[in-house]
Amino acid sequence: MKRFFAMLMTGMAVTLSVTACGIKVVDNGTETVIYDDSENTEQEGEEKASDETKTEEAKTEVTEEDTDDEENYETGDASLDDPGNQDEIGDKELLVISFGTSFNDSRRLTIGAIEGDLKEAFPDYSVRRAFTSNIIIDHINKRDGILIDDVDGALKRAVDNGVKELVVQPTHLMDGYEYHDLVEEVSEYAGSFESVRFGEPLLTSDEDFKAVEKAITDWTKEYDDGETAIVFMGHGTEADSNSVYGKMQDMLTEDGYKNYFLGTVEAEPALEDVIASVKAGEYKRVVLEPLMVVAGDHANNDMAGDEDGSWKKEFEKAGYEVECLLRGLGENEDIRKLYAEHAKAAMEVGEELKESKAGDTKEIKAEDLKDGSYEIDVDSSSDMFNIEKCSLTVKDGKMTAAMTMGGKGYQYVFMGTAEEAQKASEKDYTGFEEKDDKHIFTVPVEALNKETDCAAFSKKKETWYDRTLVFKSDKLPRNAFKEAEAENDSTEIRDGEYESKVELKGGTGRASVESPAKVTVKNGMASATIVWSSPNYDYMLVNGEKYLPVNKDGNSTFTIPVEAFDKEFKVIADTTAMSKPHEVEYTLKFEAVK
């Protein structure tokens, strides 16, 4: 798995290349570097360590000489924090994975508090801890004599403890590079447990954004006096997920919190952008607070440090009275509740999948569909058999599905049970095609909306494991069905222009489209002119096909096909209103025209 630092330490004198995530301390003319990071988002660079040696190296005996004079500041009593690596834990484990921090008090008050709330919420699960940063793990071990598991070590410990049901809840803020690397690393152990389920990052759904917005504004309302700019500092990333900061800023502004500002240490909006935005208002004071799970190095130094270049110093230079709130999001009870909700959703995914299988959705076979290629969703009984996207091909009365996997842990798949796969010949196995650094398995599909046995062969364990898949029909366009042709033959809709009431759902709930919309029917095919409430949409996607605006001025306007009347269908609209373009999923529903 990728790590997001690159450092080299030698004894008391340290020579290394650091990112903004290092703390430089000068003591008696000697520069010492303390490595730490305070956030579970994206880090720059790569921390590389051997999978075979990194856990053992962390167990090196700590001596008094090793820890002497390494830091000249106090981060709290490490003995008050529970490293969460006990054994004999039963067969149900909730593994909480964080980037980590060596700031002991903040670790206890944030990551420790999240873990504590999860223990209380889910008493049937043994809650355990893992950090993704081996540098932080080694530093805590050397300084305090406390060993915290890395991800590989925690997973091996779970296997050794006989865990059957593993739920993984990361404390990451967003679905970025590190989160995806984490999913891939855990997926290598998928065959070692009866079930593995993965919780989502903090900011995933629109409901998450709304909940976090309420949490941080309630938390700071005592400073909201009309004369104070309240500024949150995030980490930032070069990944597309950096758009979460722009989305949150837009929500705050639209909801009337115009004195709230967001910036990042490593990306956009940068400090200079935030200062410019604050200067545009008539504020006398600035309150700084990290938009990070813990208050570690970034909060204490990049934000609240007394050296030139810190956010505190730069705002003071700009003429503002500055107050710094050194507290991580993990100290906020409402934020912790949101992580618990994500963990609960992960635990219930098996039940939800069972319900979706057991529903009264009609099975769809190749004979029901027109030849063509369609993007569909696939439900999997295992989070670790993670299908990122799936393309269904219908041709000559047969269906095949090209499944793009989220990890690389499987060598083969077999459409049947693990027992059947073991008895089959290797020529009956389906290998993967590698494209754009992704593994793609193309398999036959008997029917949509039907439970389908699929055995997966783990590279790591060299064992077949049972998975259950449901290839779903709900994303198929209406004109993919042969029955639609018969309906069109008997329809009363003649070629011409009509008006249709249209309902839009999705996004933050603030966007809208004009209703009624103009609908044109030509040669039995319907299209609609969609006029958005904003000029900031640069394209739309309908059934995977891109549509560009048909206007030059005013609000964004598109002509798109109407896949169905009186039925919701999914579309994607790309907005440029944020710091980076961001695709947002919506549903449209057109009232039938006559």
In this structure, the number of other CB atoms found within 10 A of the CB of residue 347 comes to 20
Residue 167's identity, in one-letter code, is V
The rounded distance, in Å, linking the Cα atoms of 447 and 452 is 9
The rounded distance, in Å, linking the Cα atoms of 285 and 110 is 27
Q: In what order do the strands lie in the sheet with 545-547?
A: 502-506, 582-590, 569-575, 537-542, 545-547
Block residue for tokens 């700019």? 229
Distances from the Cα of 490 to the Cαs of 2, 311, 494, 527, in angstroms?
58, 68, 11, 19
- 443 φ/ψ sector (left φ>0, alpha ψ -120 to 50, else beta): beta
Phi, psi of 510 (to 5 degrees): -95, -25
Distances from the Cα of 80 to the Cαs of 76, 145, 146, in angstroms?
9, 13, 11
Question: Mapping DSSP to helix (H, G, I), strand (E, B) and coil, where does residue 138 land?
Answer: helix
The rounded distance, in Å, linking the Cα atoms of 444 and 451 is 14
Smallest Cα–Cα separation from 152: which of 173, 131, 180? 131
Smallest Cα–Cα separation from 306: which of 322, 290, 286, 283? 322
Question: Mapping DSSP to helix (H, G, I), strand (E, B) and coil, where does residue 148 land?
Answer: coil
List the Cα angle 266/180/508 in 5-degree steps.
70
In this structure, the number of other CB atoms found within 10 A of the CB of residue 545 comes to 10
What is the token pair recorded at 277? 């935005």
In angstroms, the first-to-last Cα distance of the chain is: 58
Question: Mapping DSSP to helix (H, G, I), strand (E, B) and coil, where does residue 303 land?
Answer: helix
The rounded distance, in Å, linking the Cα atoms of 350 and 380 is 9
Q: Does residue 408 contact residue 439 with C-beta atoms inside 8 Å?
A: yes
Beta-strand pair 126-131/92-98: parallel
**CB-based burial label for 343 (10 Å; 0-12, 13-18, 19+):** buried
Question: Mapping DSSP to helix (H, G, I), strand (E, B) and coil, where does residue 26 land?
Answer: strand
Radius of gyration of the CA atoms of the chain, in A: 27
What is the token pair recorded at 254? 């639209």
Task: Report the run of H or E that residue 32 belongs to, with start and end.
Answer: strand 30-35
The rounded distance, in Å, linking the Cα atoms of 263 and 271 is 6
Residue 446's identity, in one-letter code, is E
Report the catalytic residues.
235
Q: Does residue 246 contact residue 578 with C-beta atoms inside 8 Å?
A: yes
DSSP per-residue letters across 346-403: HHTHHHHHHHHHHS-PPPB-GGGB-SEEEEE-EEES-TTS-EEEEEEEEETTEEEEEE
